[in-house]
Each structure stands twice: as structure tokens, then as C-alpha cells.
Amino acid sequence: MQLRDLMSMGIVRKFYDDIAEREWKRLRHDAYHRLEFIVTMHFLEKYLPPLGLVLDAGGGPGRYTIELAKKGYDVVLFDLSPKCLELAKKKIARAHMSDKVRRVTEGSITDLTMFRDEEFDAVLCLGPLSHLIENRDREKAAREIVRIAKRGAPVFIGVIGLYGVFREVLQRLQYELTEPSHEEFFTSGVHRWHVDRHKGVRGFPDALFWHPRDLRELFERNGVKTLEMATCEGLSCHLQGPTNRLYKDKEKWAKWKDLILKTCTDPILLGMGEHFLYVGRK
């Protein structure tokens, strides 16, 4: 592994160590952020087998791990951040789910050699592929995910969407449009962390923001059949204020959630969300 790759991994690890508690709260922060969880759980419930062993790779502080354990699944939680895993252990114990969570273990999505071939009945990887800026690492991660999934098992891959980030730039970060150091981001979706000698590392760590086509092609060429893709924020993308206000009226919120779930797989919306989900079967 090259020196910059090691540094990048260390920066990603530190970033999530520093925000472990915030990451736990993120999917419940408000109605808008809950949509990511609501949409993802909708597709997990649709495609997971009735029972089995599930790997939550990149599961951070364990929000999905605990939810799946409550539904009767045996779960292995795997993440790069020791602080997130430390928090996850506390949350798992508090939820009385320790008997269903088989292991909580640290590591990188590019190296799943601790797991056997075809060990898991389903694999979740919700986030880590957005921090692999080198093609070789993305290919290796995809191969590893497929290797450890049983034949016929579903895989669920969540990433940050490229066009959703472009819309975020329009809203909050317009200086990046003409900043020379961000040119790679606009041409290939790659964001690189950089160091200021006075302030240290600045901003988000190394990241790749995805086009849906590229994620689908990555897994299809590694032996996965695409089932569905969905945008997690759907029609609410970048409409946080109206979405959160709507939540106050439970009847309207229920109708809006139903509309989100009915439309989130529409190709017209797919690439515009902040996050999107790929569902495939080995």
C-alpha cells in the first residue's frame, strides 16, 4: 500500500473517530435525514432473506446492525473507526442485542480476508465505497464483497451521489466552482483532502462521489445481478426545510413518505440525491 493510501485511510479513520456520536445521531437528526434510513430499510426488508447472517461493513456506530438484530438476524459489524465501534458496543448492549451481534471488528473494506468465502447470507456496505478514490481499491472492495456473499445473497451498497454534491456546491460552496484545486472533483468526482501547514487537515477526507451508472457497472462486472437502485432522499433532496416542516403534520408526512418510496427508483431522480442505494444479487 502506498504512503498516500495509508495516510488517506488514517485521515478517514480519524474523521469518523471524531464524529462517532454525530454519526450515530445523523439518521435520526431530523425528518430529512430519517429518509435515508427509511428508504434503506425499505429495501433491506424487501430483499433480505427471512433469517441469516448479515455483514454490516462500514456500519460505524451500529444503527443498521441494531435494527437488523432486532428483526432476528445474526449480524457482524465491521468498520474502520475504532471509536465508532466502541460506541456501537455500548449501543448494542443498551439495546439488549449482544446475543445477535456475533462480532464487532475493525478493518478496511478492501481487506475482508478475515471472512470466509460465501460466509454471509447478505452484505451491507453503506458508505465505505465513497472513500475509495483509487480504481484498484474500488475493484478490490467489490471483489471482496462478492467473495464473502453466498450465491444468491443480496448485497446493498450505499454511496454519496455526484450530482447531489454538485447541488450542495450550488447551495453552500460556490467558491469551489472556480477553485483550481477542485477541478478533479468536477471532472471525475474525486475529492482529495489537503493539509494546511497552520490548520492541519481541512474538510472532508478523500472521497469519490458516484454516478449511478458507475456503481452498477462495478458490481455487474464482478458477478452481481442488479435488482434495483434508489435515491435515499428522493423528491425531498436538498429540500430540508419543507421536509422538516411537513413532518409536523403526521397525516401529510405519512403520505409524503409513501410518495418517496413509490418514486425513489425512478431513473429521473436517481442521480440527483445526496445518497443512493444499489441492490444486487450474487
Q: What is the pTM of this model?
A: 0.94
- Segment 36-40 shows an average pLDDT of 98
pLDDT digits (tens, 9 = 90+) for 109-140: 999 999 999 999 999 999 999 999 999 999 99
State the pLDDT confidence band at 192, using cuts at 50, 70 and 90. Answer: confident
Alpha-helical regions (H) of the chain: 3-18, 20-26, 31-47, 63-70, 82-94, 135-148, 162-172, 183-188, 212-220, 240-246, 250-263, 267-270
Tell me if 281 sits within 8 A of 224, measured CB to CB.
Answer: yes
Tally the domains of the chain.
1
- The grid coordinates of residue 32 equal 430529512
- For the chain, the average pLDDT equals 93
Gap between the Cα atoms of 61 and 84, Å rounded: 5
pLDDT digits (tens, 9 = 90+) for 84-114: 999 999 999 999 999 999 999 999 999 999 9
Q: What is the CATH number of the domain that holds 22?
A: 3.40.50.150
Domain residue limits at 167? 3-281
State the pLDDT confidence band at 198, using cuts at 50, 70 and 90. Answer: very low
Gap between the Cα atoms of 96 and 274, Å rounded: 33
**Cβ neighbours, 10 Å, residue 54:** 29
- Segment 225-252 shows an average pLDDT of 97
Q: What does R_g of the chain's alpha carbons equal in angstroms?
A: 18
